[in-house]
Structure 1
Amino acid sequence: MTRPLFFATSLVLVAVLAAPGEASAWGRLGHRLVAALAWDDLKPATRAEIERLLQGEPDPTLPGIASWADELREHDPDLGKRSSKWHYVNIAEDDCHYLQAKHCPNGDCVVEAIRMQTKILADRSRPQAERLQALKFVVHFVGDVHQPLHAGYGRDKGGNDVQVNLNGKGTNLHSLWDSGMLNAAGLDEAAWLQRLRAMPLAVKLPRSPLPPASIEWAEASCRIAVRPGLYPSRAVIGQDYLDTWRPTAESQLRIAGTQLAATLNAALGG
């Protein structure tokens, strides 16, 4: 489910792809924010290894690769297709309890993709190209798994089938959470980073993020997705919905940055 992310300062609520498993989490801006927040908390050794791996990239920064996995369908259709299910996991129908045999039997979900790609990244015996690709996937998927609807209901494709109308503009619930709520605030990337960096961290880090605590992250996101009111009772919604739920989206971005840093430090920090 490669779910489109938000574009820096646009106030337009973009309609997201409605095909099963086809949509992105957070949007371009959101993924950049997660990566920038993570960079703040990286150990010097981790930063040095990331900088080494990113040499030669068009934008050799963590935010610069954060949306790479959502762009694969354009630049590498085969890999984009093979990795399309790695962006999400549907567990809301099972009370947000992840069962690998049921929800991810072939490893094709965000929970197992994070584990698999982190393992590749941490293995310094592997070719640099493999580890660079794994870094790009890890940065993106840790962001994805913290978007609540990426761990939500399969029956409505993570909210893609739920149509809503915000201030006269039609969209769907998944797109609203990916980008619409944050874009509607009218902040640019720098202002968002200042805002998010000032937030207290409302999460307890796992004792050992290697292998990553991706099950816990997915289940926590799912518990948000099923909260009363997240699915609006009517299609027409307004500022009250944004005021109620934007703080949750902001908190998830903040948590994702911290969890990504912990994962990268464990994989690369020596």
Structure 2
Amino acid sequence: MKFNKSIVLTFIMSLMVSQVFAWGQLGHYLIGYMTSMQLKNSTRKKVERVLYPMSIGRSGTWMDEIKSDRAFDYVNSWHYLTSKNGEFDPSLQEKGGNAYEAIQQIKAELIAGNLTVKEEAEKLKMLIHIVEDIHQPLHVGTGEDRGGNDVKLEFFYQNSNLHSVWDSGIIDRWSMSYTEIGNELSRRLTPEMEDQYRNSTIDDWLKEAVALRPMVYKLPENMKLSYNYGYDNREIVEERLIAASVRLAMILEEIY
């Protein structure tokens, strides 16, 4: 029996990606899944056509997967931004750009419609990822601890850091698939919540992230986290996931 080397290589790479970006897959798939359910049929079909063969959920992981590709080094700082008090201050940002400006820039480029087929697909995948990322509170950093990466701690007896706990630790402990979580969270989305999320600007998103900092940084003196920290912050994580899905759907409908 002959094996197609390209198929085998693709399979191996998919395993490597799932190991390196385990929460990335779950979290981004989850938000994309909920977004798909909220989109107008006409918008969803247009978005799926641009992203094909990727789904909206799958495309949300792409921007993490290209981090090792030097051709995309220019987007490395687009995953996050710095805000001291909930306001956007250009002087605090990385020279290569930031999530706040990238969202608006990419959205404008997609609306203008002057991109090639490949460029449109890449830009759309970036936009999806960044909108999702910015709803993780530590992707709106203080500028003092690299979004919690420098806050060393233990999480369930394993050496970790605060950013990793919010990126993967809490949600991984749920031990549920993205469809299970997505269906559960979607049932909690009321019309009033949806209106509130849609009637907001990216500046409001920054204020929300900063407002959550007291809870995010409420750490025990011994810096050992387990069930209590995850339990205390679960509702925040769930709310951020719901908010991201609604706002991503809103932006996609404005473009398509």
Q: TM class, shorter-chain normalised?
A: 0.7 to 0.9
User: Which residue is equivalent to 1:89?
Assistant: 81
Q: Does structure 1 residue 48 correspond to structure 2 residue 40?
A: no
CA distance in 2 between partners of 1:184 and 1:26 (Å): 11
Residue pair 1:26, 1:147 contacting (<8 A) in 2 also: no
* SS, match of residue 81 in structure 2: coil
Pairwise CA RMSD:
2.4
* SS, match of residue 186 in structure 1: coil
Pair 229,221 (structure 1): closer, same or farther in 2 beyond 3 Å:
closer
Report Cα offsets for 1:52-89 as digits up to 9, x if no partner: 2123x3xx211121110011123x3221x210110001
Amino-acid identity (%): 27
Say which one has the larger Rg. 2
CA distance in 1 between partners of 2:78 and 2:48 (Å): 25
CA distance in 2 between partners of 1:120 and 1:189 (Å): 30
> Mean alpha-carbon deviation: is it higher for 24-33 or for 125-134?
24-33
Pair 29,72 (structure 1): closer, same or farther in 2 beyond 3 Å:
same
- The TM-score with structure 1 as length reference comes to 0.80
User: Which residue is equivalent to 2:217?
Assistant: 230
Cα displacement (A) at 1:174? 0.3
The amino acid of 1:118's aligned partner reads K
User: Which residue is equivalent to 1:37?
Assistant: 34
User: Which residue is equivalent to 1:265?
Assistant: 253
Unaligned ranges ≥5, structure 2: 1-16
Report Cα offsets for 1:104-145 as digits up to 9, x if no partner: 485711011111111122222322222111110111001010
Number of positions where the alignment pairs a residue of Structure 1 with one of Structure 2: 236
CA distance in 2 between partners of 1:125 and 1:110 (Å): 22
Unaligned ranges ≥5, structure 1: 1-6, 15-23
Residue pair 1:26, 1:144 contacting (<8 A) in 2 also: no
CA distance in 2 between partners of 1:229 and 1:52 (Å): 38
User: Which residue is equivalent to 2:55?
Assistant: 61
Structure with the larger helix share: 2
CA distance in 2 between partners of 1:238 and 1:107 (Å): 36
Report Cα offsets for 1:149-195 as digits up to 9, x if no partner: 00022111000011121221121110000011011111122221122
- The TM-score with structure 2 as length reference comes to 0.84
Residue pair 2:63, 2:129 contacting (<8 A) in 1 also: yes
Aligned counterpart in structure 2 of residue 78 of structure 1, from 71, 76, 94: 71
Pair 206,197 (structure 1): closer, same or farther in 2 beyond 3 Å:
closer
